[in-house]
Structure formats: structure tokens, C-alpha cells
Amino acid sequence: MLKNVLAFATLLISASSFANVRLPHVISSNMVLQQQATTKLWGWASPAEKIFITTSWNNKTDSAVATRDANWQLAIQTPAAGGPYTITIKGYNEIVLENVLIGEVWVCSGQSNMEWGYQQGLKSIKDELPTAYNNNIRFFNVPKTTSTYPQDDCNATWSVCDSNSIKTFSAVGYFFGKKLNKDLNVPIGLVNSSWGGTPAEVWTPADAVASNATLKDAAAKLTPAPWWPYLPGYAYNAMLAPLTGHAIAGAIWYQGEGNTGTASTYTALMDTMINAWRKAWNKDLAFYYVQIAPFKYGNKNIGALLREAQTKTMQHPNTGMAVITDLVDDTNDIHPTNKHDVGLRLANQALAKTYHKNGIVYQSPMYKSISVQDGKATISFDFATAGLSAKDKKITELYIAGEDKVFYPAEARIENGQLVVWSKQVKQPVAVRYAFGNTAIGNLFGKDGLPVAPFRTDDWEVDTSKL
């Protein structure tokens, strides 16, 4: 009898020593995997435990062995878009992932204008509720979390887009994904990892900031607040690092308001952050972002300087910027309510540049060059092949200056797709500025409907004193 009891106890101890196979939250039922890509399945198990993975799209079984550190991973090749599929993962226990789709996966990140949705009372999302259900759009909503060091998991779940899940998701992200799903006719996975108020430094790995003296100094000037982290890497470590094994097509980004105080370093910061994300995902990710909207900041021109820095970020490969100066109703509100058209403009960037769809109007006219002759300045533009138009007879928010650096309101006319600018008060023009101010909303558009991006032709010192 005693012998039997001891044998049974030994069996229990032996069984309990085998840990169940576990998965990170991003690898779960209802997920979307990036199509035609090498992506990872990974998790934890007992050291030396053999894990068998069977994917239903090809009924192929592969295996991996857990390391001495109780980690395992397996690289798999995904097919063209489709589903739903199952993935069976079997070690000492068995996990079956169901309702898995193959399609296009995008990360949606930034601060509050990316975060906002139904819970902030946006009518555009309320209007979507009756028809929100779409099994081919899936959400993964990362909770606000920080960490000093990169983490390997985050507490979130994949959900099917419906009238409940849409209520806690990014409006910009949703409208972006809805447009991609409609035009590409493939499943779309959207990962919302955003936090209102956060400066871009917290979304950038700390070592990348620390290795650049200019960025390190700028980060030291950030002002702590009770509502969001401000130290480099803190959001990245907890809200992005756990996702970097999951293959994605790219990222959309709506942020910048939190960095207006250090606008002079923002372009370098964006270059650093984008490179760090691409390194982490081991891919030249597409990166499309929103230029911040006009708003009445407490210091002169800091919004204009940040928008200028964002324009310069377009020089970074495989990026694109959505200009939204025309989508603002109230410059006293830092949260423009029209998130629908913001999402569409980001989607058009992706459709044209990532998915190579023809006939997509995606890029605002951008300042190219200035020439001066007979007391008039002629401004040329990129991305204005259809020509220019003004919404009113008089082009507004346009200023011109001579060598004395004093700007005067300017007259202008559109001529052969260029802008001819002059003022009776400036005999020898040197510089022109358009919509260059915190709250400036111009009325100059490309004939295809997108607003001309704010610009200045000079590089003079700009007054940023308090209002």
C-alpha cells in the first residue's frame, strides 16, 4: 500500500514538473497574420519540451524545442490572404487557435488624436455602430503600460470588429482599416498602441535616444506630467516591444503635440524612432503619419515649427504625411473631431505607396522652390500636377518679406501651377510664408482636393515667446 502511494506521489510530482505550453497574447484566436510573410509563433514551455505546430492552410506540422530558458519559437511562412484557419500547438498540453485570418497587419500609434474614438463622443464612430460588424477587420487594443526594459508580452486580446469592440478602438485606426479592407478586399488586423499626451521619446528605445547627444538633451527638457510617461523607451518597452515578433505591413502615427517644445530635434527623433522600429521588426516598415493640426498653443509658432519638422521627415525613405489643416473646426481644441477623413488620407497613402494602387490622390502639394523676378516671388510645388486652386478669391495666410525680415500680408495669383506672390510694401522679396503659424488655416489646395502643406522659404530664427 505504501509503495503504491509513493508511486502515485512520484507520478504527480513528475507531471507537475512539465509546464503547459503558453503563448503571448498577440498569438491567439481571432488574430490576423501578415500575408505572404515570414512571421513567428513563440511562447514558453518546459526546457527541452518539443512543441508541434500544425497550420490548417497547408496541414503541415513543424516543431520547435524549448530552450533551457523555457522559451521556444518557430518561423512560419504565411500564404496569400484568406481564412479563417486554425493553428494547433501541442506539447504536454494542446492549444488550438481558431478563426485566424491571413491579411494585412498595421500598428496604429501616437497620442490622443490616435487614441480617440467612441468614448470621447465622436459622432463618426457612433454612426458606424449599426453596421460595424466586419469579420474581416480585427482589433488588438494594447492597454497603457510602461516598463524600464523591453517586455515579451502585453495583456490584450484580438477581437472581431463589431458594435462593441469598435467602442474602445482608435477612430483613425478603424477608418484607416475599413478603407484598406474595402479597397484591397483582404482581412485587416489593426493594433492600437497609443497614449494621449506622450512625447515621441517614450515610443523610442531608450538606448537609441541616449546614443544621440542632441536627442538626449532634448529628452531631458521634457516636462513630467501626471497623465503620461515622459522617459525614453517606457511605452515602447511595454506596448510595442512585445509585438515585434508579429509580422506587420507598417505603422500609422498621429503624434507631435507633445513635442512642440523641442521641435528643432523632432525630425532627428522621428528618423531615430522609425529606424529603431524597423530594426526591431527586421523590416523596412511603411510609416505614414499625420501632420498636427492648427491649435492655439501658449507659445508663438511652436506648432508651425513642429509641422515643419514633420514635413522634413518625409525625406526619410518609405514614409508619407497626411496634411489636415482643412479638417479643423476649432483651433482652441487640440482634438479635431474629423477622424474619418484623417483615416482615409492615411489609407490613401498606404494604398498608393505600399499597395501600388493607381489613381489614388494621396499627397498634398508641397513647397519645392522659390524664384524672384521684378519684385515678385514665384513658388513652385511638388505633387501639384493637377494644378492649384483657392477656395476664396483671395489666398489667405500668405506673407512675404525682404532682407529686413519683416513680413507683410501678400497678394498672389495662381499661374501655370505656380504661385506668384508680391506686396507693394516689399520691393525686393526674399522669403514667403504660407499658413506658418500655430492656428493658421490656409485656403490653397491642389485641384485634386488636398490642402497645400504649410511652408516657409526661409530659415530665419522664429519667435517662440509666450503669448
Q: How do the domains of the chain map onto residue ranges?
A: 19-101, 103-353, 366-456
CB-CB contact of 175 with 186 (8 Å) = no
Please give the Cα distance from 61 to 357 (Å, whole number): 36
pLDDT at 160 over 90: yes
Placement of cell 489593426 in the chain: 190
Give the residue among 325, 322, 244 at the shortest CA–CA distance from 285. 244
Please give the Cα distance from 464 to 450 (Å, whole number): 29
Instruction: Provide the b/e sequence for 344-376 (b: ≥16 CB within 10 Å).
Output: bbbbbbbbbbbbeeeebebbbbbbeebeeeeeb
Please give the Cα distance from 161 to 99 (Å, whole number): 13
Please give the Cα distance from 352 to 320 (Å, whole number): 10
pLDDT at 5 over 50: no
Average pLDDT in the 240-258 region? 98
Please give the Cα distance from 108 to 342 (Å, whole number): 13
CB-CB contact of 228 with 83 (8 Å) = no
The CATH architecture that domain 19-101 belongs to is Sandwich (2.60)
State the pLDDT at residue 393. Answer: 87
Which residues, at least 6 apart from 174, have a Cβ–Cβ distance to it below 8 Å?
117, 125, 128, 137, 161, 166, 190, 343
Confidence of residue 18 (pLDDT cuts 50, 70, 90): low
Cell numbers describing residue 144: 497603457
Q: Collapse the DSSP code of 303 into the 3-class scheme (helix H, G, I; strand E, B; otherwise coil) and give the result.
A: helix
Q: Where are the beta strands (DSSP E) in 165-212?
A: 188-194
Element holding 199 (H helix, E strand)? none
Q: What is the pLDDT of residues 409-441, one digit of tens each?
A: 999 999 999 999 999 999 999 999 999 999 999
Cell numbers describing residue 81: 490572404
Instruction: Provide the b/e sequence for 139-160 (b: ≥16 CB within 10 Å).
Output: bbbbebbbbeebbebbebebbb
Q: Collapse the DSSP code of 63 into the 3-class scheme (helix H, G, I; strand E, B; otherwise coil) and give the result.
A: strand
State the pLDDT at residue 202. Answer: 98
Average pLDDT in the 38-50 region? 97
Please give the Cα distance from 168 to 115 (Å, whole number): 9
Which residues is 290 bridged to in the sheet?
Answer: 322
Q: Collapse the DSSP code of 52 into the 3-class scheme (helix H, G, I; strand E, B; otherwise coil) and give the result.
A: strand
Average pLDDT in the 27-40 region? 97
Please give the Cα distance from 11 to 17 (Å, whole number): 10
Judged on CB neighbours under 10 Å (0-12, 13-18, 19+), 74 is middle
Residue 213 is which amino acid?
A: A
pLDDT at 334 over 60: yes
Report the CATH fold assignment for 103-353: Rossmann fold (3.40.50)
Confidence of residue 10 (pLDDT cuts 50, 70, 90): very low
220 sits in the region (left: phi over 0; alpha: psi -120 to 50; else beta) called: alpha
What is the secondary structure of 424-460 as a DSSP string? TTBSS--EEEES-SSS----EEETTSPBPPPEES---
Average pLDDT in the 394-415 region? 97
Which residues is 90 bridged to in the sheet?
Answer: 52, 94
Q: What is the pLDDT of residues 278-318, one digit of tens each?
A: 999 999 999 999 999 999 999 999 999 999 999 999 999 99
pLDDT at 4 over 70: no
Please give the Cα distance from 447 to 365 (Å, whole number): 10
